[in-house]
Structure 1
Amino acid sequence: MPRFVDPVERRNAVGQAVWRVVKRSGLAGASVRAVAEEAGLSTGSLRHYFKEQRGLQRYAFELILERYEQRLTRIDPALPLREQIEEALWALLPVNPEQITEEQVRLEFLIQSRLDPELAVLAADDRAQAVRLTREAIIALRDAGQAPPGVDVEATALELLALVDGLAQAVALSPESMPAERLRQALRRWLDNLAGSGPIGAER
């Protein structure tokens, strides 16, 4: 009797195979044939799920964005506000080997999105969601008295997102120089400075 193959599980495995190929050979190397070989499938079997290379790559990018959403939904709403916000920002950072691979591949997709309209739509949606998350974080902190009442929400949200982006890229480029604890300290120092009403980034 043939073994049942869960199509969702198979597509996820293929998406992760794309990540490994992209990390090793770049997006140009992530052909249907190369990904099929990485995933241990025949080219014909892979084409059952993905007809062409662009669809395969687009799915792999969508899978990275889906992982971000999954991490956000696992945050305990019973946590104190500050801890919830820390965990939400933490969800955007590559803090283990698999998430480092995700970030390295995500950067490849973001570069390619300048030339690929379909990837550009995904990249724009990813950016909009990140801006929305940081904006909501600043508003919540302000309303809870953990940020200055007159804080410029839009500018401060973009500064926070720039910090998160910069930390994530630093890990992607040099994982050994940016351990998880250093990332956590950077986030907490920024939030502490915001709560202290002084210039963001200033020493307390």
Structure 2
Amino acid sequence: MPRIVDHDLRRAELAQAVWSLIREHGLAGVTIRSLSERSGWSSGAIRHYLPRREAILNFAAQQISEQAGRRLRELAPHPDPFEDFLARLELTLPLDADSRLWLEVWLAFVGAAVSEPNFADAQGLLYRDLNTYFQEVLAEFSRHGWLPAHTPQQAATELHALLDGLSVHLLLSQITPQRARETLRAALARLLVAPGAPDSSRP
């Protein structure tokens, strides 16, 4: 009987190996040979999935985007729409092991993209998917009158910039998780105002 291969599991294992190389050595440390040594896969097996180094790096970015998106979708909904969105925004901050790993890898892509434009597409994937999600949620808030002073695009850009800054500060241990949460809550409360409620209705 032929052996059944769980391709999703194998890809997840490979993603973990690529991420660990990026965290330790940066993007420059990712080669088919180093990935083979780290993952225990043969070079031939890696090339079956990812034939070139560029494909490996794009795969690493894509896997972060997919796993982060899955995490957002799987979070149990909160009956209060403000609290529900806030909880999902907090999931994007490096407040636990998974999100910290993803953001450390994201930072490596950002740094590399500054001087090497060929990494910009991979880094952009991480930005675009999340920004699209923000805009979709904020558009729904806007339709229900919760976004009195901004368009969904403006609000998404503002929130995304804040999350990026808070993430870097957290990774560098410049602020505490509690302070990051408080800052995020205050910023979201300035953007989202329940119809008929005063601007100061939320802490």
TM surpasses 0.5: yes
- Cα distance between partner residues in 1 of 2:4 and 2:172: 40
What CA distance in whole angstroms lies between the structure 2 residues aligned with 1:24 and 1:124? 22
Is 1:173 matched up with 2:149?
no
Q: How does 1:8-87 map to 2 (within 5 A)?
A: 8-77=8-77, 79-87=79-87
Shift of 1:107: 1.4
Whether the aligned pair in 2 keeps the contact of 1:19 and 1:60 (CA below 8 Å) is yes
Distance in structure 2 (CA, Å) of the matches to 1:16 and 1:178: 27
Q: Which residue is equivalent to 1:103?
A: 103
Counterpart secondary structure, 2:79: coil
Alignment of 1:151-170 (within 5 A): 151-153=149-151, 154-170=153-169
Q: Distance in 1 between matches of 2:92 and 2:11?
A: 23
What is the deviation of 1:141?
4.1
Check 1:129–1:3 CA distance in 2 against 1; reply closer, same or farther (3 A cut). closer
Helix, strand or coil for the counterpart of 1:5? coil
Alpha-carbon distance in structure 1 between the residues aligned to 2:199 and 2:138: 13
**Among the aligned pairs, what percent are the same residue?**
29
Distance in 1 (alpha carbons) for counterparts of 2:89 and 2:7: 31
Structure 2: runs of 5+ lacking an equivalent: none
Equivalent residues in 2 for 1:107-146 (5 A)?
Answer: 107-114=107-114, 115-117=116-118, 119-144=119-144, 146=146
**5+ residue gaps, structure 1:** 199-203
Letter of the 1:169 partner, please give it.
V
Change (3 A) 1:131 1:61: closer
Residue 201 of structure 1: aligned partner: none
Cα distance between partner residues in 1 of 2:97 and 2:22 = 15
* Cα distance change of structure 1 residues 42 and 125 upon mapping to structure 2, 3 Å threshold: closer
